[in-house]
Amino acid sequence: MLSDKDLIKLALLEDVGTGDITSAALLKNARLKPAGAIIAARSAGIVSGEELVQLVFDEIVGEEVIRFVVRDGHEVVPGDVVAEISGKPENLLMGERLALNLLSHMSGIATHTRKLVRLINDYKAKLLDTRKTTPLWRKWEKRAVRDGGGLNHRMGLYDHVLIKDNHIAVVGSIEDAVKHARRNVSPVYKIEIEVDSIDAFKEALSCGVDWIMLDNLSVEEVSLAVGENAGKVVLEASGGINESNIVEYAKTGVDYISTSDVIKGARPLDFGIDF
Amino acid sequence: MLSDKDLIKLALLEDVGTGDITSAALLKNARLKPAGAIIAARSAGIVSGEELVQLVFDEIVGEEVIRFVVRDGHEVVPGDVVAEISGKPENLLMGERLALNLLSHMSGIATHTRKLVRLINDYKAKLLDTRKTTPLWRKWEKRAVRDGGGLNHRMGLYDHVLIKDNHIAVVGSIEDAVKHARRNVSPVYKIEIEVDSIDAFKEALSCGVDWIMLDNLSVEEVSLAVGENAGKVVLEASGGINESNIVEYAKTGVDYISTSDVIKGARPLDFGIDF
Amino acid sequence: MLSDKDLIKLALLEDVGTGDITSAALLKNARLKPAGAIIAARSAGIVSGEELVQLVFDEIVGEEVIRFVVRDGHEVVPGDVVAEISGKPENLLMGERLALNLLSHMSGIATHTRKLVRLINDYKAKLLDTRKTTPLWRKWEKRAVRDGGGLNHRMGLYDHVLIKDNHIAVVGSIEDAVKHARRNVSPVYKIEIEVDSIDAFKEALSCGVDWIMLDNLSVEEVSLAVGENAGKVVLEASGGINESNIVEYAKTGVDYISTSDVIKGARPLDFGIDF
Amino acid sequence: MLSDKDLIKLALLEDVGTGDITSAALLKNARLKPAGAIIAARSAGIVSGEELVQLVFDEIVGEEVIRFVVRDGHEVVPGDVVAEISGKPENLLMGERLALNLLSHMSGIATHTRKLVRLINDYKAKLLDTRKTTPLWRKWEKRAVRDGGGLNHRMGLYDHVLIKDNHIAVVGSIEDAVKHARRNVSPVYKIEIEVDSIDAFKEALSCGVDWIMLDNLSVEEVSLAVGENAGKVVLEASGGINESNIVEYAKTGVDYISTSDVIKGARPLDFGIDF
Amino acid sequence: MLSDKDLIKLALLEDVGTGDITSAALLKNARLKPAGAIIAARSAGIVSGEELVQLVFDEIVGEEVIRFVVRDGHEVVPGDVVAEISGKPENLLMGERLALNLLSHMSGIATHTRKLVRLINDYKAKLLDTRKTTPLWRKWEKRAVRDGGGLNHRMGLYDHVLIKDNHIAVVGSIEDAVKHARRNVSPVYKIEIEVDSIDAFKEALSCGVDWIMLDNLSVEEVSLAVGENAGKVVLEASGGINESNIVEYAKTGVDYISTSDVIKGARPLDFGIDF
Amino acid sequence: MLSDKDLIKLALLEDVGTGDITSAALLKNARLKPAGAIIAARSAGIVSGEELVQLVFDEIVGEEVIRFVVRDGHEVVPGDVVAEISGKPENLLMGERLALNLLSHMSGIATHTRKLVRLINDYKAKLLDTRKTTPLWRKWEKRAVRDGGGLNHRMGLYDHVLIKDNHIAVVGSIEDAVKHARRNVSPVYKIEIEVDSIDAFKEALSCGVDWIMLDNLSVEEVSLAVGENAGKVVLEASGGINESNIVEYAKTGVDYISTSDVIKGARPLDFGIDF
């Protein structure tokens, strides 16, 4: 795992490489004074990414100063000033693209999350993300989900037990799989199992797991499972859920709804830097 | 810059962390034999990402074998087998999510690019990407654009000169900016200038640049510029262009159309691993 | 986080630096043939560290072959051959010290863990480790605990919620602390709270946590808590527990006993390489 | 080799991973003011590790201030304040465990070293450490030995020549081994040879080495060697020496006594952070 | 690619390793006050390397202050003070060798470049460097060339197309090679082709490349090519050119002269630090 | 410190960056068969760098095979085949420049060293290098010195004590400086002192150091010192020595002559790759 600072350092190197040749050629002898700039929203949504933008300008020289006017998790409309920056023009130009790429990406996710969260606001179900994230940016995409009002599912393969078909196929039965997990895994972790039918759900329910993921079950099947469960274990609906059907799933009374759409269905939110 | 292998190593660490606790607990004493699996398309599109998927399974243990049946740049329909893998089940499970996340992301971009490219196939204009990419994955997103039939604009700030408003504002005039660039920059690089009005375009045209980007100009203005230019310099239309208006811009006779939509407008293409 | 390979690469660089000057000077023109060697136990205990020793010899040149005769978690007595190696003498000499340092360290922990586990074998209580580990080697020290028959507590600050006095002091009350945790933390994590008195224990019990750590409570107090709890939440005794008093704590009927002694109380187990 | 800062960065990442989820959930909206804390000794010993503890809090945010009241190499008794810290509570909590793990480990070594050094204080022999150290922390464990009053043997395979049995076996004779070393090695390095019998000692003595290690020789044999040597070369007794027999070896008049016990026989010294 | 800071960090680690043992032993208890020092030129030439020297002292502790009196690209004569430093003596001693090694190396290149540039000052031809650079220091050696008044050829294999014999041999003909390049390469890059005869030059001229490198052609052949070209494409003379024959090549009227001698023919410029 | 493999990986990334665009465009669909190539000497000298060249081609894909016909330390004349390679053309082209840059640089040093060594062959004095090396390549430049028949002085600040004027100035006297060093430094290191006058030499001689460097002393002064010393300590002449005066210094009977010229006075030896 990279530290946050190293992640930004590498992202900046990707863009700047051996140097910004345009600024070097044009601003070389200009002995420029620090200039002011603002980051402004160009569309409406929820801001997320403040910490990463800060790290971008910290990495460049350390003399740049950035102050966020709108903090993560808050709404903006087009024209709203999100942050004020000051620094040498060549440095602001160097960090501009990376800062905006990150801010747009994370704010887009927060904005889309907020939309989905509002749709199911009146129901018990809470919104969860998945492991379908952009490699190397998962921590931050999951942060954006929280800024949008959603909750996170596990961070990776290391912090939560999720038993899938392939595991069950290898071990032989749901019962044995759960037994192995209980015996071998650190007791600080919860044990979740993925089922893809009502029959499998019933078998899992009788094995003492903490949490059952109902994968690709219809709204009717999820309703059935919720009834059968009667609050015994945590129930999560998953698989092909997005804004077109999320309310139907929420109405079943399920505890959690998880969907990759919360991150993968988002579009970048538009921001610009004006000098 | 990270090597490709290190990029994949870090991406895998992000997901696996201190270990896949589910597989460790369930498959521990299983002494499993190598199993076979296939990666299959679940929607129609253009494949891209073969090399990264290969690196994922190389990184895990080196014993996994993966063979691509459909190569980068080729079309798939749902159900098509894209690759065959064999290896230990716990290793395939470890690499599964990362491999699919990368393959889906890149193939989504290739698929969207192909669509845009086909729209303007009958015109002179070629499609270019931009620097609005996902940090740390630019090289590969640009590769996906090429797999889709598009062309790449510059890789970063280091391999092409692009003079923008902020540069001109600091230097004082378009003419001086171009002069500075010609004198100070390595002659192996082309000099491009971004203009946002017909007046600025005319001024740039008289200064001896290699390439002019017409930024946020209307279709009419771009037509005007193309006429005025009469083939003297390379002309690129840019700003807010997507599938809704790309054909109109292509009709102007401009040389290149660049748009962040080629990457940012793409949705992941769905793939699955079946054991 | 470093990959396991990079961890070993760095550990080898620490010892070898710019080169093993003795071997370079003495064996330079010797054109030595691969030699065989064995790793043998010089005291009795439980083996742990097979995977790291393998990585050491993999890192050196890749031509060395090592085969473990006694696998992790199994017992050895002095003289037992643990592994057979073959390779160039200068390479075996280069990896020898690091391989033995790792094997001795981990096997020492596994051996000490096994001893503690056996002491409480007849009771319900299971043995847990803590975060008092050697920086950069936690994953492997916790692996050694498992090889010795113990269980792991959380890996770090990121995979389990543990509310301590300082948190409570800042938030104001146990009740509020637990409420905040339930609302803000991903639901995949369990919530544990540390209490240092019977009064605090009772308060925690009424707040709906999953797990209570009884920190530095006397054997009598732990007994009291176990009775009061009546199986409602998981109970863990912690603080100053080692082989001198672990049985007393186990007799209380507590679910888990956690102690840094499992790792910090271990002495290296002696191994040697013989050519 | 990692820089000291990178070593600490990685050690912190090991513990914090993707974030301290407890503090994030509980202290999130608390907008906490900087708090003061002290690091206090909970047992008696010698302090070592100041520089590493400083680096831990530097790494976290840079705003934390830490001032050491007791400096490396000085004695503490239980209750002594070793250092004063101030900073945001969530940051102090983040660095607490790593700082204490390092301080306890190094101070434990310094304390144990001091004890051994005092035992042989009235004799000519000086105490040396060995290469049996914790991988990646050798530099700092050897620093702790110095803080305790001991001296260091070589840092690694690269800064001193030590000819061992395996080298001699390959080359053919002690005489040839020493000749090769004299001819091929940079003359800035001393040449030491390890012997495991009086006969081998005599042979080595006649070959012009700088230093002879008497490995696993009895006290009587070491005495014999010291007499025979009559001050010609440096003599070092090694192998199985600890507090039970170190004085006997010192009485022989040998120049140095080296033992892994100086580091591996140490127990962590107990410290706590109080807010 | 390493960031500039990481490059300097690694270079410092190469020299300092586990610590400067001389300063540690001698200055340990000295509690030294910050001292002043100057970097002075000991021979005449052009200064280059200011930024790297700054990074060296930044890396050490951050308290050192360095101020450059003579800036990059300016001339010095023996005795000239180039920079003033203040800091702790042990820190200045630690950075001294690396700082001087870098400053001498880069200034040597700038000095040699200036000499070559002056030789051809009255001609059209500009001086270019090549890819024959010291691995890991190319960016900075090319910076030194610019400080000396030269221009840079491409940075690497990634930012300019240069078609060589081996490419042509594989593709089959100059014409096909150029066609492939035009079709497949991003249009932001120029296309250069290397030819080693007048015949090949003529063929290349007819294929629409941007730039032709005349490799190892005699002065007469280059003259011929310049005449034939009549300003159509950029012409570069290359191969075995140094101060003995550069003026003859410049007289041909060629646009650029590239030579590895600009970097590889330079000797370090002598500087010293005086306390 | 970087591992050798990482050093080469970074050097290759410096040249290849995001990809060799020329080969990618031209050889893309060529489905090329492995080709053979040879590395041949183009001037006369001593070969050095075999191991690094091997690492370059290992890093690229692992399928390239390289076999050295002339080994490190042996002579070549123009036209001699040094190594045979086979592999895919695009891979050979990718590694070509880096491999040749390294081989030329190291062989140039070995060649120049051999020349200097031969000049003093009939005298007692041995040739030593210094710390004036190219940052990040010191280990390899010192290897080239050995391949040329020279010996190495210390690797860095960490493996040998060298007391300089600035140390003496701070401590107060030569006597005190040596005393401090004897007391504080690990006894495995030798203690050398640099003197710049006969008076300082005499003072140092009386203080029990192991080695005295006579810095910038005239040939006469060195002769005087050799007589005075009468074999008591190791004597090293240093400062401004090169092929013009090295024999005169050798005639004095001094033990070692150290000079940066051995590395910095070398010119690259010319090699080429022919397909």
Give the pLDDT mean for D38-49: 97
d(CA A220, CA C236): 42
Interface test with C, best of D23, D90, D166 (most C CBs within 10 A): D166
d(CA F59, CA F51): 12
For residue A1, what pLDDT is reported?
86
Q: Is the pLDDT of residue B114 over 70?
A: yes
d(CA B215, CA B192): 12
Q: Is the pLDDT of residue D31 over 80?
A: no
d(CA A194, CA A216): 10
Per-residue model confidence as pLDDT tens for chain E (275 residues): 899 999 999 999 999 999 999 999 998 766 667 788 999 999 999 999 999 999 999 998 666 788 999 999 999 999 999 999 998 888 999 999 999 999 999 999 999 999 999 999 999 999 999 999 999 999 999 999 999 999 999 999 999 999 999 899 889 999 999 999 999 999 999 999 999 999 999 999 999 999 999 999 999 999 999 999 999 999 999 999 999 999 999 999 999 999 999 999 999 999 999 88
For residue E170, what pLDDT is reported?
86
Residue segments in chain A with a per-residue pLDDT below the cut of 70: 29-32, 61-63
d(CA F35, CA F23): 15
Burial-class residue A37 by CB neighbours within 10 Å (0-12, 13-18, 19+): buried
d(CA A230, CA A246): 22
Beta carbons of E235 and E256 less than 8 angstroms apart: yes
For residue C65, what pLDDT is reported?
82
d(CA F107, CA F91): 24
Q: How many CB pairs under 8 A join D and E?
A: 9
Cβ-Cβ contacts under 8 Å, F17 against chain B: 1, 155
d(CA D68, CA D50): 7
E188: alpha, beta or left? (left if phi > 0; alpha if psi -120 to 50): alpha
- Strand ordering across the sheet containing E271-274: E65-68, E81-87, E35-41, E271-274
Q: Which of A139, A164, A202, A264 is catalytic?
A: A164
The per-residue pLDDT for range F63-84, each reduced to its tens digit, is 678 899 999 999 999 999 999 9
Catalytic residue status for E243: no
For residue D34, what pLDDT is reported?
76
d(CA F214, CA B8): 54
> C139–B19: do the CB atoms touch at under 8 Å?
yes
Cβ-Cβ contacts under 8 Å, E1 against chain A: 13, 17-18
Question: A32 touching B, CB under 8 A?
Answer: yes
Please, which pLDDT band fits residue F100 given cuts at 50, 70 and 90? very high
Percent of chain E beyond pLDDT 70? Answer: 97
Percent of chain F beyond pLDDT 90? Answer: 88
Residue segments in chain C with a per-residue pLDDT below the cut of 70: 29-32, 61-63
Question: A256 touching C, CB under 8 A?
Answer: yes
**Touching subunits for chain D (3+ Cβ pairs under 8 A):** A, C, E, F
Picking from C17, C5, E156, E261, the residue whose alpha carbon sits closest to that of residue F10 is: E156
For residue F106, what pLDDT is reported?
98
* Partner residue opposite B9 with nearest CB, options C3, C139, C155: C3
Give the pLDDT mean for F163-186: 93
Q: How many CB atoms lie within 10 A of CB F24?
A: 18
E125: alpha, beta or left? (left if phi > 0; alpha if psi -120 to 50): beta
Q: Which of A118, A132, A232, A267 is catalytic?
A: A132
Please, which pLDDT band fits residue D109 given cuts at 50, 70 and 90? very high
**Residue with the larger pLDDT of the pair F226 and B92:** F226
d(CA D96, CA A40): 39
Interface test with E, best of A18, A55, A58, A61 (most E CBs within 10 A): A18
Percent of chain F beyond pLDDT 70? Answer: 97
Please, which pLDDT band fits residue D192 given cuts at 50, 70 and 90? very high
Picking from B77-81, D41-45, E62-66, E107-111, which range would have the lowest pLDDT averaged per residue? Answer: E62-66
Interface test with E, best of B161, B188, B192, B256 (most E CBs within 10 A): B188
Here the ipTM equals 0.96
Tokens 């699955």: give the residue: B272
Q: Is the pLDDT of residue B115 over 80?
A: yes
Q: What part of A 3-22 touches D (C-beta under 8 Å)?
A: 3
Question: A143 touching C, CB under 8 A?
Answer: no
For residue B28, what pLDDT is reported?
72
Question: E120 touching B, CB under 8 A?
Answer: no
| Cβ within 8 Å of residue C116, ≥6 positions away | C127, C150, C243, C246, C259, C261, C262
Question: E74 touching A, CB under 8 A?
Answer: no
Please, which pLDDT band fits residue B34 given cuts at 50, 70 and 90? confident
Could you tell me the two tokens for A248? 């139907």
User: Which H or E element spans position D214?
Assistant: strand D211-215
Tell me which DSSP letter residue F17 carries: T
The per-residue pLDDT for range B137-154, each reduced to its tens digit, is 999 999 999 999 999 999
Could you tell me the two tokens for C246? 């672990």
Strands (E), E134-210: 161-163, 191-195
**Touching subunits for chain F (3+ Cβ pairs under 8 A):** B, C, D, E
Query: Rounded to whole angstroms, what are the CA distances from A274 to B193, D109, D233?
Result: 18, 58, 75
Burial-class residue E121 by CB neighbours within 10 Å (0-12, 13-18, 19+): exposed
For residue A88, what pLDDT is reported?
87
Active site residues of B: 97, 132, 164, 194, 215
Beta carbons of E23 and E92 less than 8 angstroms apart: no
d(CA C266, CA C49): 15
d(CA F187, CA B198): 78
For residue A27, what pLDDT is reported?
85
Phi, psi of B202 (to 5 degrees): -65, -40
- Provide the whole-model pTM: 0.96
Active site residues of C: 97, 132, 164, 194, 215
